Amino acid sequence: MYLITASLLNSWRYYLDTHDEDMWDNETGSREEKAWLDFIQTLSRIRTEPNEAMKAGIDFEAAVTRCIRGDPENSYLDKRWSERCVEEIARELDGALLQCKLKDKITVDGEDYLLYGILDGLKADTVSDIKFTGKYETGKFLYSYQHHMYFAIAPGTEKFRYLVCDGNNVYTEEYWREYALDMKIVIRDFRSWLSMYRDLEKLFLDNWIAKEW
């Protein structure tokens, strides 16, 4: 049985989206090259130190959690974001189950896969995920596999919300179960693509074995 996470599928998707495109970032160079290296690291399950953007996301989520718990105000204030943003998202998640670890097993073409994810918030029929970004544009997470994956592992839920902070404002992106992708089809496409590249397929088969059900 092989483990499948949203981060693995998103890394693959991001590489495909940048492949063969003339995309250049003044700070990081070729976006395609960076996406390729990130995908290889993901397939290899190489742990790397979080960059500044990742650290900000982790810290912001922790700040929201402290606010929900009713910790002192100075425990969640930071120059990177406004107090209002933290409190707004905390209100949205008040009463929700936080950091829910969910998983589900599915079979695709005779092979078993373990879908796994950690939900930032689960309340009634709604899954919420906290995001922090330096710049937000409408539909930023439209092509993410995260909401599709979480619908698969959280039966009974009907809505998925990205609660996004850019430091000064909070934005909400909502997605509905009725429009969710079939994860069996997504996994079939992923494995079919990997099968064209023996070295990449071997990295997946060697490193993504699910250790438990």
Helices (H), the chain: 6-18, 31-44, 52-69, 83-92, 146-153, 183-194, 198-207
Tens of pLDDT along 49-89? 888 999 999 999 999 999 999 999 888 999 999 999 999 99
pLDDT at 213: 61
Give 30's strand partners: 24
Residue 209 token pair: 């074995």
Distance CA(74)–CA(78), nearest Å, equals 8
Distance CA 99, CA 119 (A): 5
- Contact yes or no for 145/186 (Cβ under 8 A): yes
Mean pLDDT of 137-159: 97
Buried/exposed code over 23-40 (b: 16+ C-beta within 10 A; e: otherwise): eeeeeeeebbebbbeebe
Q: Compute the mean pLDDT over every residue in the chain, rounded to the nearest whole number.
A: 93
Amino acid 19: pLDDT: 72
Q: Is 181 exposed, middle or buried (0-12, 13-18, 19+ CB in 10 A)?
A: middle
Give the pLDDT band of residue 29 (cuts 50, 70, 90): low
Average pLDDT over every residue of 37-49: 92
CATH assignment of 2-207?
A: 3.90.320
Q: What is the pLDDT of residues 97-140, one digit of tens each?
A: 999 999 999 999 999 999 999 999 999 999 999 999 999 999 99
Q: Which amino acid is it at 144?
A: S
Domain positions in the chain are 2-207
Q: Which residue has the tokens 């930032």?
A: 120
29 vs 140, more confident: 140
**Can you give the pLDDT at residue 21?**
57
Instruction: Tell me the pLDDT tens digit for each residue of 182-193.
Output: 999 999 999 999
Cβ-count burial of 178 within 10 angstroms (0-12 exposed, 13-18 middle, 19+ buried)? exposed
Residue 177 has pLDDT above 70, yes or no: yes
Q: Return d(Cα 89, Cα 95) in angstroms, integer.
A: 12
